[in-house]
Amino acid sequence: MVFLVTLYTLSLISHPQEAVLSSFLILCLFLHKNNKDRIKIILGVLMSFLLSSFWLIPFILSSKETNLLNYQQSDLLNWLFSNNIYLLTNIAAFIIPLSLFIIFYSYIKERVYNKKELIFYAPILILNFLFLFKFVRFIPILKHISPDPYIAFFLFFTIFFLFSIKSVKFEKIIWLLVLGMVILSIIVSAIKTPTFIEHKELEKEVISILPSVEGKYLMIGNSGVTSYTKAYYSYAAIYHNISTVSGWYNQIASPEYIDTFRKINNDYSNGRCEDFNKNLEILGVEEVIFYGYECDKLNSCGLNEKASKGKVCLYRINAN
């Protein structure tokens, strides 16, 4: 009881997505236990919600004013056929749930039929089915959970069933699979994980111009530049205490704010300076850094030039 309340309370506060998935584990226990234990489980869950209510209630109330409930994996149905940026995630989102079904079949096949055990794992298998065939996209709450928690959740059960199979023949297959996965992981890591990248001239120019920034700012990179805008935002906040109108976690901003923010780059790239300036004003932007541009050929949209270094140009919004 204490163990359940402690872990569930902490997950509700620190990891809401994982807390939703852990609720399926609690449901497994609820279905498996007798009525007396079910009452204890219900009381434990209620106690967890009560202990986390100081955070949970404001979180739920504020979610209506943010982009949290509008955020979801919108391309869920097309993971395997598009969005190559997340190719490895797409592959894992197919292979791991499918492996769970296959390995669970082998696990349950060598056991004497046990209805209670099937009932215990039923919620996990149903969720796995919904995720594998992307039906979670249509289910409230579940559609807001990103792929990684799902994958880790199903991977745990896949490994559990895998090592619970006692067949000698299957044991050899297990170790071959484990060895193969280790080798594959090393190869993928060696190919995909970048080594430390030295700052090039553009990165040095951006870093050197940051001390000149005053007030809230926004960065606009030219197409084709490899510099990572959000890395600059983090660097500027840590070393220069500079605030930006952008951020890392879009879910906590309002839908209107996100919509306006997304329009800015589009307006600038299409030469719609009037809309560009209007949206900068709405977000409270005071200065703009353009990087990767030839400053003398830059379309400033009427902003006032403040400083420039190489291909980095700092402009201030016109004061009314």
Query: What pLDDT score does 74 carry?
Result: 46
Q: Is the CB of residue 88 less than 8 Å from the CB of residue 188? A: yes
Q: Environment class of residue 54 by beta-carbon count within 10 Å: exposed (0-12), middle (13-18) or buried (19+)? A: exposed
255 vs 70: CA distance, rounded Å:
8
More confident residue, 297 or 23: 23
Each residue of 249-286: pLDDT tens digit?
A: 776 777 788 889 889 988 998 999 999 999 999 999 99
Each residue of 242-255: pLDDT tens digit?
A: 999 987 777 677 77
CB proximity list for 42: less than 8 A, separation 6 or greater = 30
Question: What average pLDDT does range 5-10 have in this prediction?
Answer: 92
User: Is the pLDDT confidence value at 27 over 90?
Assistant: yes
User: Is the pLDDT confidence value at 97 over 80?
Assistant: yes
Say how many CA atoms lie within 13 Å of 197 toward its Cβ.
10
Each residue of 130-179: pLDDT tens digit?
A: 999 888 888 888 888 888 899 999 999 998 888 888 776 666 777 777 78
Each residue of 174-218: pLDDT tens digit?
A: 777 778 878 888 887 887 777 777 788 899 999 999 999 998 999
Query: What pLDDT score does 137 carry?
Result: 85
Q: What pLDDT band is residue 84 in, cutting at 50, 70 and 90? A: low
Each residue of 35-83: pLDDT tens digit?
A: 999 999 999 999 999 999 998 888 888 777 776 666 555 444 444 444 4
Q: Is the CB of residue 205 less than 8 Å from the CB of residue 309? A: yes
CA separation (Å) from 153 to 22, 105, 156?
Answer: 9, 18, 5
User: Is the pLDDT confidence value at 314 over 90?
Assistant: yes
Predicted TM-score (pTM) of the model is 0.71
Nearest to 285 by CA among 217, 230, 238: 217
Query: What pLDDT score does 79 carry?
Result: 45
CA separation (Å) from 141 to 6, 13, 38, 220?
Answer: 23, 16, 24, 34
CA separation (Å) from 177 to 162, 193, 265, 287?
Answer: 10, 23, 47, 55
Query: What pLDDT score does 86 carry?
Result: 67
Q: What pLDDT band is residue 22 in, cutting at 50, 70 and 90? A: very high
Q: Environment class of residue 128 by beta-carbon count within 10 Å: exposed (0-12), middle (13-18) or buried (19+)? A: buried
